[in-house]
Every structure is written in structure tokens, then in C-alpha cells.
Amino acid sequence: MDRTETSAAADLPPCGGDARQGRGGSSRSDKDDQSVHPTLAVRGLETQFHIGQSVYRASNGVDLTIRPGECLGLVGESGSGKSVTAMSIMGLVPSPPGVIAGGRIGFKGEDLTDASNARIRQLRGGAVSHVFQDPLATLHPLFSVGDQIVEAIRAHQSLSTREADAKARDLLDLVRVPNAAQRMKALPHELSGGLRQRVSIAMALANDPELIIADEPTTALDVTVQAEVLRLLDGLRRDRNTAVLFITHDFGVVSEIADRVAVMYAGRIVETGPTAEILTRPAHPYTRMLIDCVPVMGEPGRRLDAVPGRPPAVNRLPAGCAFADRCPRVESDCRRGEIPLEEKRGNLEARCLHPLEAGEALSGDVRTAATTSDGTPRHGRSA
């Protein structure tokens, strides 16, 4: 059966609500040709964990679109559902207790939701690859990095060992590992953290992926190495026209690499739009508060805000806006019912009834709204 012809995802709209423009709203070829299927089109993804009587809604109606050569930054606090969304795309949700209870995952127009395990395995490490935060979790401690890259190549391409070996060396050169031929023989623990991450990027590139899912790939690295690895990833995806889903909790990193941003909170996308627009004129108070947490160079005296309180547990989501208990702009209507992700202005969409105007700051001390009079968060994680 040809899934690309018959699947429901073949009918996915080529451009979803969050697929708009490139960095700073600049035009891209994808904008000019909206008829081409995006590399990734996630629609209404519902990934749940059923534990005892509880249902944890980790991805709760998530929509994402990424076009060739585009980088989407998926941002949110710990536990907001970023990794579960990524694992769902890669077919890696542990089941049980996990289940994809709804929605569709389209890869270049092919519906992966009902794809066979064999098809998902064929894609994973091939056309869809991933880079994780900790390369030691990806790399086998007892095999040389060269052997591991060769194995990754041969799992998807019929090359001789000699050919795969040469390709592995080229990949290490490409990700700028010095003395690649020598380093092929190194065990993972013999390399620095930055070099190990370059090796895992080389492995991710081994089979010319069309989509790379990078889950906090620079979080464990020190800042200079982090900047180098970001530049490397950015250059590679531009040269190779690779779509990238870049997961992070750090808006500083997002500003370096993402064309567009999707902000996740308690399993939902709460705001999405071009990076420059989101960074300078966000509509959702949560996005504003997350951005205010980023240290700014040259402002040593500036108070660093934290977002007070905690997100609600995803097995006990409140009616209405899940951010209401922490939001300085909350009104009674925020707690009444489902709030849709709607266009607020320009290319910005937010799930908010009382959005910020362009460039508006949050007035007053946000702590007054999000904490009780003694400073206790109004909403603690209860599960």
C-alpha cells in the first residue's frame, strides 16, 4: 500500500497554523510554494500516559509544521511536554503506559500515525534522526566512535565497510572533529563533551536526514562549546536544507538558531510565530515572562525574573487556561473553558484572551498575581 497516496496525512494542509515565515518574518522559498508538503506536519497530537486511574496529557492537541531547511524552536519549562512530543514523532513513546490517543503525524505527506514498526524503524536514524542532550546516552561506551558511525551508515545504506569507513571520516571532518582519522578509534569517554556532541551530530547526519530532532543538544556544554555546536548545526541545516525541531528551555539559544518558535505549556502550544516577533513582541504573558528570565549582556544590575509558581500537573488540568494561576493578567473569563490558539497580530498566534499589545511589558510586580501575600506560589505541582 502506498501510504503517501492513501493516508489521511496526504490531505494535511501543506501549511499549518504555525507555519508562516522565516527568521524575522523574512521570506523563504517554502512561503512561495505552499503546495509542497512540509517535512513535518503534526496535527492535534494527543500523547497520554495512563497510570492507575490517572491520565497524564503530555501532548495535548499539539500542532507543529516544519518545512525543508527551517528550524522550529520548541520552548517551555521542564515537564511542558517537549520531549514527549519529540518521542511521539520518532515512535519512541514507551507503551504502556504511553499511548498516542489522537492526532496525526505527517512526514512529507506520509501519515506516520498508523505506520508499521518496520517503516518507523526505517525512518528513524535514516530520514529522521535525533541528537540528544547527553551524547553518552546515545553512544555505546565500549565501541569506538568510528565503528558506531559506520554501523549507523550501514544500517541504512548498502555500502562496503571501506566505503562506510571513508564516509564516517568525512562526517567527522564535516562536524569539525580535528584529526578525524585518529579520532575514529577513540572510545566516547576519551573525547571532551563538545567533541562527543559533534560525534553524535555526525551520527545523526550519517544517512542524510530530512528532519533532525535536537532535544536540548547544547544544554550540557559550556557556553563557548555551546555556541560552536549551535553554529555547526545551523550551518549544516542551511547547507543541506534539513528541517530541524530544536527543543530547549532557553530563549537565548532559540534566538541563535530558530526561524520560528512554538512555546509549550502544560502539554499545549500557547504561542507560536517568527522568532524575532516572539522575542520582541510576544502576545502571551507566559512567553513574556520566560523571555524576561534570560540574562541580558551589559545589564549587570538588572533583576532576573523567574516565572513564579509551578505548572499544573498534566493529569489535573484546570478548566480554561492552564497558566491562569500564574498569570498577572488573569481575568475570570480565563478559567471558563477551552481557549483556542488564535492569530493575535501579524504572524503571531497565542492561546490567550488578554494578550499583550505589540511591545507591551507586564506591568507591576508579577509576583502579586502569581503568589499569595506571603510569597507562596498559588499553584504548586500536586502530583
Ligand X SMILES: Nc1ncnc2c1ncn2[C@@H]1O[C@H](COP(=O)(O)OP(=O)(O)OP(=O)(O)O)[C@@H](O)[C@H]1O
Where does this chain bind ligand X (CB under 6 A)?
49, 51, 56, 58, 76, 78-84, 94, 97, 249, 314
Q: Which is nearer to ligand X, 134 or 163 (CB)?
A: 134
CB 248 → ligand X: shortest distance, Å? 8
CB 118 → ligand X: shortest distance, Å? 24
Q: Which is nearer to ligand X, 8 or 51 (CB)?
A: 51
Q: Which is nearer to ligand X, 94 or 340 (CB)?
A: 94
Q: Which is nearer to ligand X, 231 or 316 (CB)?
A: 316
Q: Output the nine-digit C-alpha cell for 34.
A: 505552499
Question: Which candidate, 203, 150, 156, 148, places its Cα nearest to that of 175?
Answer: 203
CB 47 → ligand X: shortest distance, Å? 8
CB 74 → ligand X: shortest distance, Å? 9
CB 97 → ligand X: shortest distance, Å? 5
Alpha-carbon gap, residue 175 to 172, rounded angstroms: 5
Q: Which is nearer to ligand X, 167 or 246 (CB)?
A: 246
CB 66 → ligand X: shortest distance, Å? 18
Q: Which residues of 111-120 are buried (b: 16+ CB within 10 A; e: fewer)?
A: bbbebeeeee
Q: Which is nearer to ligand X, 92 or 186 (CB)?
A: 92
CB 219 → ligand X: shortest distance, Å? 9
CA angle 85–90–94, rounded 5-degree value: 75
Q: Which is nearer to ligand X, 84 or 199 (CB)?
A: 84
CB 59 → ligand X: shortest distance, Å? 8
Q: Output the nine-digit C-alpha cell for 197.
A: 556532541
Q: Which is nearer to ligand X, 152 or 323 (CB)?
A: 323
CA angle 294–295–300, rounded 5-degree value: 155
Q: Which is nearer to ligand X, 97 or 252 (CB)?
A: 97
CB 329 → ligand X: shortest distance, Å? 24
Residue 232's φ and ψ, nearest 5 degrees, are -60, -50
Alpha-carbon gap, residue 256 to 59, rounded angstroms: 26
Q: Which is nearer to ligand X, 78 or 160 (CB)?
A: 78
Alpha-carbon gap, residue 55 to 126, rounded angstroms: 33
Q: Is 228 left (phi over 0), alpha (psi -120 to 50) or beta?
A: alpha
Q: Is 188 left (phi over 0), alpha (psi -120 to 50) or beta?
A: alpha
